[in-house]
Amino acid sequence: MVKIAPSILAADFASLKEEIVSVEEAGADMIHVDVMDGHFVPNITIGPMIVEASRRSTALPLDVHLMIEQPEHYIPAFVQAGAEIVTVHAEACPHLHRTVHLIKEQGAKAGVAINPHTPVDVLRHVLEDIDLVLLMTVNPGFGGQSFIRGVLQKITDVKTMAKEMNENIWIEVDGGVDGETAPMCIQAGANLLVAGSYVFKQEDRGEAFRKLRGDL
Ligand code: DX5
Ligand code: ZN
């Protein structure tokens, strides 16, 4: 079953609770929270306070995507704020194995994200320690960018790697996912789709989810 995680980066922050409730009622499986620090990526967004406010707005799991340097300094705060899944970037973690285990010690599920140009091989030696791989299908930093098709092969490569290692993991794609690109991602092996602008731009969010899942 393919799951959908709308990214609140594209929501109206003046009505954040209503926005979260609207996607929950329309059938979202989790809420994707994009955390940016102005160093790892050229944008600044959300900190633990907004995660805590989101936690009080929904019963859905919060899927927190840390696009920040030195994430180990902030992981405990994000888990305490209510993150069920914490994903760090391989490019930001020289001691990735240690960082992944810090997430798990704090009581959250651990994910590792890689940028479009980063080879999937960096995942091999942590695959058995993690719950989720996030493949960026845009260069991280902003919502509303165009999907990079070259990443499709990486989705299949991660799926094959996980199968060979007998690891049952979530393969999440993030960036430029819409009614046209979602079926390609699912076909390639993704089972968790992040969508920001595609979902929040549409009045009928239920229809957006059905299109993303390929039910329409
Ligand atoms: C990009 C973020 C994405 C982004 C997705 O750096 O990680 O989660 O919000 O937005 P769309 O779906 O608009 O590309
Ligand atoms: Zn994201």
Which of 45, 138, 148, 173 is the pocket-test mutation for ligand 1 (most atoms within 8 Å of CB)?
138
pLDDT at position 212 over 90: yes
How does pLDDT run across 26-37, given as a tens digit for each residue?
999 999 999 999
pLDDT at position 136 over 80: yes
Tokens of 169: 């993991």
7 appears as a binding residue in the annotation: yes
Q: What is the pLDDT of residue 156?
A: 98
Regarding the beta carbon of 65 and ligand 1, being less than 6 Å apart is answered yes
Q: What are phi and psi of 70, to 5 degrees?
A: 45, 55
Average pLDDT over residues 159-163: 98
Q: What is the pLDDT of residue 216?
A: 74
User: What percent of the chain shows pLDDT beyond 70?
Assistant: 100
Nearest to 153 by CA among 117, 180, 124: 117
Q: What is the pLDDT of residue 215?
A: 87
Determine the atom of ligand 1 nearest the C-alpha atom of 9.
9
Average pLDDT over residues 140-147: 98
What total of structural domains would you count in the chain?
1
pLDDT at position 142 over 90: yes
Q: What is the pLDDT of residue 148?
A: 98
Amino acid at 68: I
Please report the sign of the dihedral spanned by the C-alpha atoms of residue 20, residue 21, residue 26, residue 29. Answer: positive
Going from the Cα of 5 to the center of ligand 2, the distance in angstroms, rounded, reads 9
Q: What is the pLDDT of residue 103?
A: 98
Q: Whose CA is nearest to atom 1 of ligand 1?
A: 140
Q: What is the pLDDT of residue 196?
A: 98
Nearest to 133 by CA among 119, 148, 147, 144: 119
Q: How high does pLDDT run on average in the chain?
A: 98
Domain span holding position 156: 3-213
Question: How far is the C-alpha of 89 from the C-alpha of 91, rounded, in Å?
Answer: 5
Average pLDDT over residues 73-80: 98
CATH number, domain containing residue 109:
3.20.20.70
Going from the Cα of 212 to the center of ligand 1, the distance in angstroms, rounded, reads 15
Give me Rg for the CA atoms of the chain.
Answer: 16
Average pLDDT over residues 87-110: 98
Helix or strand or coil: residue 35? strand
Q: What is the pLDDT of residue 95?
A: 98
Question: How far is the C-alpha of 156 from the C-alpha of 199, rounded, in Å?
Answer: 25
Q: What is the pLDDT of residue 163?
A: 97
Average pLDDT over residues 158-187: 97
In the block, residue with structure tokens 């989705």: 155
ipTM comes to 0.98
Known catalytic residues are 34, 174
* Confidence grade of residue 198 (pLDDT, cut at 50, 70, 90): very high
Regarding the beta carbon of 192 and ligand 1, being less than 6 Å apart is answered no
